[in-house]
Homo-oligomer: A and B are copies of this chain.
């Protein structure tokens, strides 16, 4: 009986967006290429400017086109990690994901990422990690800055794994954790020193290229997070927020 699929007539703005997206994905339009002006596009697609603009908004929110600050021209862009990660965390938060689920995912991803990083890191990244530890120590009572540093540390570590997929997978996790992380750093006195210790051990292991040690310390580090959260009175069943 179901021979016919529901016919789908996409509105013009959607097809225009799709056309541009297709050209971007195919590499015809490369990163940084300037997009023609709206009137020009409207003429090309034989469509009204308002219609083009709706298509552009869609592409813009996908991160496929962007405007350099203080400029009018739209340019082709490749979505940055931040763009995508924010979408993922939004979806997870709306999906009612609990703190435990995020933590569990981190327990799976981070230790192995650390192990990889230990094997693949280069000198620059080692240097960056070192500086981030210093920055965390310097942050002192400023919990916002402290959290930002921890997040940066995780990200730098993921980048050291030389695997862009892991960088992207990890970004939403830290983003979802950071609000409560701030809370924890404020309320649990020993949190700061434990974080520093873990980061130092991680750095040492990564510096030596000792993947197994890195993995073990990262596991402790993440486990510590959970203990810290419990001490701060945050339940594992609480839903994460953005």
Contacts and interface: CB of A to CB of B under 8 A. Distances in A.
Interface of A: 6, 8, 13, 17, 24-25, 31, 50, 53-55, 57-64, 69-70, 78-81, 83-84, 87-88, 90-95, 97, 101-102, 104-105, 108-109, 112-113, 116, 163-166, 168-169, 173, 241-242
A90 B62 contact: yes
Contacts of A163: 101, 104-105
Contact of A108 (B8, B58, B166): B166
Given A6-B69, A53-B54, A57-B54, A95 B62 contact: no
Q: Point out which of A13, A164, A173, A242 has the most chain B C-beta atoms below 10 A from its C-beta.
A: A164
A94 B116 contact: no
A90 B61 CA distance: 13
A64 B31 CA distance: 27
Contacts of A105: 163, 165-166, 169
Give the number of times this chain occurs in the complex, counting copies. 2
Contact of A88 (B92, B166, B168): B168
A63 B91 CA distance: 9
A62 B87 contact: yes
6 contacts: A6-B69, A25-B90, A58-B60, A62-B87, A79-B91, A165-B173
B168 A92 contact: yes
Contacts of A101: 163-166
Contact of A79 (B53, B58, B87): B87
Contact of A58 (B8, B57, B78): B57
Given A61-B58, A108-B109, A95 B53 contact: no
Contact of A91 (B31, B78, B173): B78
Contacts of A113: 108
A6 B68 CA distance: 12
A92 B165 contact: yes
A95 B58 contact: no
